[in-house]
């Protein structure tokens, strides 16, 4: 018997403008030449990466970059440290720079702060491509942390400048700033979180409350995806995480349920549409 699910996709979900920009640049070059190198995954979504790889995108790492010469390499929205640009210059590599303008502005603010010899603290994910680029602006002297437990409150400078990876939760960022202030630290708070990302917190809470069940579609590597999935889960405990169509099982759904589909800023709309189609056929 058909489950007769009522399925709706969140119109506000899907790629942020920075990811759209990077993917459009990649597609234009692939259309022309059929080959383009990309330093790291162009987006933290395996399904979208696979789609572009089939068109000729070649994902490389930093070691492979050192051995490339006379070719085009895409810099994704996360941005890169200056060492990447130096390597490109030395190896006659044409960089297709799709760095997100929000990230570039943040890099500049961190560099200016560090040049004034202010201690720089960055709330972000260890090893994340964006965070590596941010830390490089301080010659890797910034203190990177993912949670307050990593900070030695007893031995902090009296004054610090606090920044954030652009895709972190605004609420968490301001809670961290308050705790630091309560511990007697003078905090220069730099809210550098992308509003296109942070505004999704509020939009998703409204969306998630409207349905019996939420299907959150995201790549497993997406930091933003983890944050927004938790937003949905807090609002609607009946939230499922899906990264590919193979994650969808008919037995997880009940007859006549209303299902809301939403996703991260790195989730392609075509994938959410395929998820809807599969659910609608149960």
Q: Where are the domains of the chain?
A: 6-14+198-280, 17-100, 115-193
Q: Say what the pTM is.
A: 0.84
For every residue of 192-232, DSSP letters joined together read ---HHHHHHHHHHHHHHTTSSEEEEE--TT-HHHHHHHHHH
Give the pLDDT of residue 199.
Answer: 78
Q: Which CATH number fits domain 115-193: 3.40.50.720, 3.40.640.10, 3.40.1010.20, 3.30.460.80?
A: 3.40.1010.20
CA distance 40 to 129: 8
Active site residues: 130
Give the pLDDT of residue 197.
Answer: 77
Give the pLDDT of residue 51.
Answer: 96
CATH class label, 17-100: alpha beta
Using 70 as the pLDDT threshold, list the residues of the chain that sit under it. Answer: 1
CATH class label, 6-14+198-280: alpha beta
Encode burial over 50-59: b for 16+ CB neighbours within 10 A, e otherwise. Answer: ebbeeeebee
CA distance 110 to 173: 16
Give the pLDDT of residue 196.
Answer: 79
Same topology for domains 17-100 and 115-193, yes or no? no
| Tally of CB atoms within 10 A around 23 | 22
Start-end of H helices in the chain: 17-33, 46-53, 62-66, 82-90, 101-115, 129-136, 170-182, 195-208, 223-235, 269-280
190-244 pLDDT, tens digit each: 998 888 777 788 889 999 999 999 999 999 988 788 889 999 999 999 999 999 9
| Tally of CB atoms within 10 A around 221 | 16
């Amino acid at each position: 018997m058909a489950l007769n699910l009522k399925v709706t996709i969140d119109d506000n979900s899907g790629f942020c403008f920075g990811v759209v920009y990077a993917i459009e640049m990649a597609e234009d070059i692939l259309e022309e030449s059929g080959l383009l190198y990309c330093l790291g995954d162009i987006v933290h979504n395996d399904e979208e990466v696979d789609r572009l790889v089939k068109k000729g995108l070649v994902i490389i790492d930093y070691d492979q970059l050192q051995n490339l010469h006379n070719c085009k390499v895409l810099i994704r929205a996360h941005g890169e440290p200056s060492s990447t640009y130096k390597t490109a210059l030395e190896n006659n590599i044409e960089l297709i720079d799709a760095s997100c303008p929000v990230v570039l502005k943040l890099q500049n603010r961190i560099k200016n702060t560090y040049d004034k010899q202010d201690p720089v603290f960055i709330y972000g994910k260890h090893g994340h491509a964006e965070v590596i680029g941010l830390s490089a602006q301080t010659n890797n002297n910034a203190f990177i942390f993912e949670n307050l437990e990593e900070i030695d409150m007893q031995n902090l400078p009296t004054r610090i400048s606090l920044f954030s990876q652009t895709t972190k939760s605004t609420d968490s960022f301001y809670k961290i700033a308050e705790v630091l202030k309560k511990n007697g630290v003078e905090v220069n708070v730099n809210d550098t979180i992308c509003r296109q990302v942070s505004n999704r917190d509020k939009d998703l809470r409204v969306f998630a409350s409207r349905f019996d069940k939420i299907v959150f579609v995201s790549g497993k590597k997406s930091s933003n995806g983890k944050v927004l999935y938790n937003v949905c889960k807090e609002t609607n405990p009946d939230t499922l995480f899906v990264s590919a169509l193979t994650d969808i099982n008919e037995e997880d759904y009940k007859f006549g349920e209303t299902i809301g589909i939403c996703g991260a800023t790195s989730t392609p709309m075509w994938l959410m549409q395929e998820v809807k189609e599969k659910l609608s056929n149960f």
